[in-house]
């Protein structure tokens, strides 16, 4: 795996085990178009840039967009389009071969919501599925036939529910990898659009 210069920002998610679980398992072929939702520091997109040169990233956190741009520049990566906005809003009528998303999967009580933009990286709502379900409802409209979704979530936010929903949407989905932490499993779900 290539080593990158990674600048960080207090308002942007710092790459952690979940970031690398996704980065280490990318299923991207040359010339495929890739969309990463919630790019954060840009780390996953930087790994993706070694595999294809058609990459678009979005983030709802403007600080993240600026940080990702800085990280791409410092690593000499010029083939990534950065768009500011929530989920698929910035790519309304576009489709991609691969869609990546390290979701905000933590179940969050009202008292745990942070006032800063960093909150977007974690806050999954009461059941951890607030953003995951919005993503799943739209993802099919932005994926080419034969495309793949690779998403990270936690056992705390209902892996079975995600697999069932993907199945209902016509995907073939599986837990492709996982890492166990103190009280949860962080899982990588791969879903193929057939």
CA distance 122 to 137: 20
Which is nearest to 46 in space by CA: 85, 95, 11, 82?
Answer: 82
Confidence at residue 3, expressed as pLDDT on a 0 to 100 scale: 84
- Per DSSP bridges, beta strands 54-59 and 33-37 are parallel
Q: Where residue 2 falls among pLDDT bands split at 50, 70, 90?
A: low
Give the pLDDT band of residue 60 (cuts 50, 70, 90). very high
Instruction: Tell me which fold the domain 30-193 belongs to.
Output: Rossmann fold (3.40.50)
Taking 3-state DSSP, the helix, strand and coil percentages for the chain, each rounded to the nearest 5, stand at 30, 30, 40
pLDDT digits (tens, 9 = 90+) for 91-131: 999 999 999 999 987 777 777 777 777 776 767 777 879 89
* Predicted pLDDT at 182: 83
pLDDT of residue 174: 97
pLDDT computed for residue 65 by the predictor: 97
Determine the pLDDT at residue 143.
98
User: CA 16 → CA 73, 121, 130, 189, distances in Å?
Assistant: 21, 12, 21, 17
- Neighbouring residues of 12: CB distance < 8 A, sequence distance ≥ 6: 40, 41, 61, 63, 64, 67, 117, 118, 121
Please tell me the number of Cα atoms within 13 Å of 2 on its side-chain side.
Answer: 15
The residues near 6 (Cβ < 8 Å, ≥ 6 apart) are 15, 41, 43, 71
Summarize pLDDT for 145-161 with one digit per residue, the tens.
Answer: 999 999 999 999 999 99
Gap between the Cα atoms of 163 and 173, Å rounded: 6
Q: What percent of the chain has pLDDT over 70?
A: 97
Closest residue by Cα to residue 103 from 135, 127, 60: 135
Mean predicted confidence (pLDDT) in 52-66: 96
What is the side-by-side strand order in the sheet with 80-84? 80-84, 54-59, 33-37, 96-102, 143-154, 184-193, 171-181
Please give the Cα distance from 116 to 11 (Å, whole number): 7
Average model confidence (pLDDT) across the chain: 92
pTM of the model: 0.93
CA distance 103 to 80: 20
Asked if pLDDT for residue 189 goes beyond 90, the answer is yes
């Amino acid at each position: 795996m290539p080593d990158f210069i990674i600048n960080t920002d207090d308002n942007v998610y710092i790459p952690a085990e979940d970031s690398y679980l996704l980065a280490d398992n990318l299923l991207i072929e040359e010339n495929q178009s890739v969309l990463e939702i919630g790019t954060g520091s840009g780390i996953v997109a930087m790994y993706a840039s070694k595999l294809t040169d058609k990459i678009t990233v979005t983030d709802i956190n403007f600080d993240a967009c600026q940080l990702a741009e800085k990280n791409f520049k410092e690593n000499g990566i010029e083939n990534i389009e950065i768009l500011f906005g929530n989920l698929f809003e910035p790519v309304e009528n576009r489709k991609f071969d691969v869609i990546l998303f390290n979701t905000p999967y933590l179940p969050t009580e009202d008292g745990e919501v942070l006032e800063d933009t960093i909150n977007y990286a974690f806050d999954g709502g009461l059941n951890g599925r607030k953003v995951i379900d919005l993503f799943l409802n739209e993802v099919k409209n932005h994926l080419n036939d034969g495309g793949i979704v690779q998403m990270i979530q936690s056992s705390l936010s209902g892996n079975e529910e995600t697999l069932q929903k993907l199945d209902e949407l016509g995907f073939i989905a599986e837990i492709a990898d996982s890492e166990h932490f103190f009280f949860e499993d962080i899982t990588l779900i791969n879903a193929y659009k057939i």
